[in-house]
Amino acid sequence: MTTGQSMGGAPKIFWKAGAWLSLIFLVSACDSASDSADEDSESTQTQITGDDPVPSNTKNSDLAVTQLSPFRAVYELKLRKGAAATNITAYDGLLVLSLENTCEGYISNQRITAEITNSDGERILSDFISSSWETRDWLSFHYNMVNKLNNTAVEEVDSEAERSSPTQKGQVIRRKPEPETLDLPGGVEFPTQYSVALLEAARRGETAYSADMYDGSADSLTYLVTSFIGEKAIASPDEADTGGHALLTGLAYWPVEISYHDMTNRDVLPDFEVDMKMYENGVGTHLVLDYGEFSLTGALARMEMLDQPECR
């Protein structure tokens, strides 16, 4: 695993969108809808919302009972494990995630602000901001990101991907960091598309889910994203993070481990891993973000639901 280094010895702290950004508040239409889908295969041909059908991608063709509910959530990030190579001795940050649900697609926003202390006692302010737009038919994906250290931009990404079918090849147009046009392989999944498939795999009792993903970042065109799904359990009050007791107690969850492998160098070790408890309503808690040379924990501090649009 490798971690990009920036000024003052501070590594680039990022949050892979497809790792789980869209998984928060992936809510089934209702419990009965999910149950009926197991009993009647025809129910899986219903629509996600409004008049937008579920894409014909074979991996995701049975995901009609899943809806994405708008939300905003805040996580407190702390250093779990450091290493001499990263020069990090302390990390205090906040991860803010939101998902806006429109009639045409999903807008995902994330921001990580943190104060990082290195072994020399120097404090560095980190500010990572990204936004993405993904259509409901999984045909279009736009991504923008800016990474700042001490209020100075050290990295920017502006890209979009278009294709005629989720299973067909497409095209990626990057405007930042350098203008270029790239070929998108067929069958690659976008972040929300992958997240929906992962949650549904857990509900079906599967123990793993894997797919190639394009998430818009400039580090690699695509990643091999593999998720291992643990045994289903029911949350007791003391298992939920402080910010989610009321919503999570009594719900089913699955321990999951999600790993990202750079498709460029085919490294055996993942570039990035996330461990968490993934709840049946899509909420994730007890985060562990592993960058290889160091890792962070993320505790859910608070969350709120946003307005759902009325689509025809």
Confidence tier at 146 by pLDDT (50, 70, 90): very high
pLDDT of 69 reads 67
Question: Per-residue b/e over 160-196, b at no fewer than 16 CB within 10 Å?
Answer: bbebeebeeebebebeeeeeeeeebeeebbbbbbbbb
Domain count, the chain: 1
Give CA separation, 8 vs 119, 125, 150, 173, in Å: 11, 10, 10, 32
Given a cut of 90, is residue 220 above it in pLDDT? Answer: no
In angstroms, the CA 224 to CA 138 distance is 18
Q: Any idea which of 94-98, 131-135, 225-229, 307-311 has the lowest mean pLDDT?
A: 307-311
| pLDDT for position 224 | 92
Residue at 119 is within a domain: yes
Structure token digits, residue 124: 């560095």
- What percent of the chain is helix, strand and coil (3-state, nearest 5)? 15, 50, 35
> Does 63 reside within a domain?
yes
pLDDT tens-digit map of 165-219: 999 999 999 999 999 999 999 999 999 899 889 988 998 999 999 999 999 987 7
Rounded to a whole number of angstroms, the distance between the first and last alpha carbons of the chain is 46
Say if 33 falls within a structural domain: yes
The residue among 143 and 102 whose pLDDT is bigger is 143
- On whether residue 311 sits in a domain, the answer given is no
Note whether 101 and 308 are within 8 A (CB): yes
Please indicate, yes or no, if residue 1 is contained in any of the structural domains: no
Domain presence at residue 77: yes
Per residue in 31-75, pLDDT (tens digit) is 333 333 334 433 333 222 333 333 333 344 333 345 666 778 899
Output Rg (C-alpha) for the chain, integer angstroms. 19
User: Strand pairing partners for 16?
Assistant: none
Whole-number percent of the chain with pLDDT over 90: 45
Higher pLDDT, 168 or 262: 168
Question: Can you give the residue range of the structural domain that contains 192?
Answer: 7-305
310 part of a folded domain: no
Q: For residue 170, what are its two tokens?
A: 């497409």
Q: Is residue 2 part of a domain?
A: no
Q: Report which residue type is found at 72.
A: R
- pLDDT band at 99, cuts 50/70/90? confident
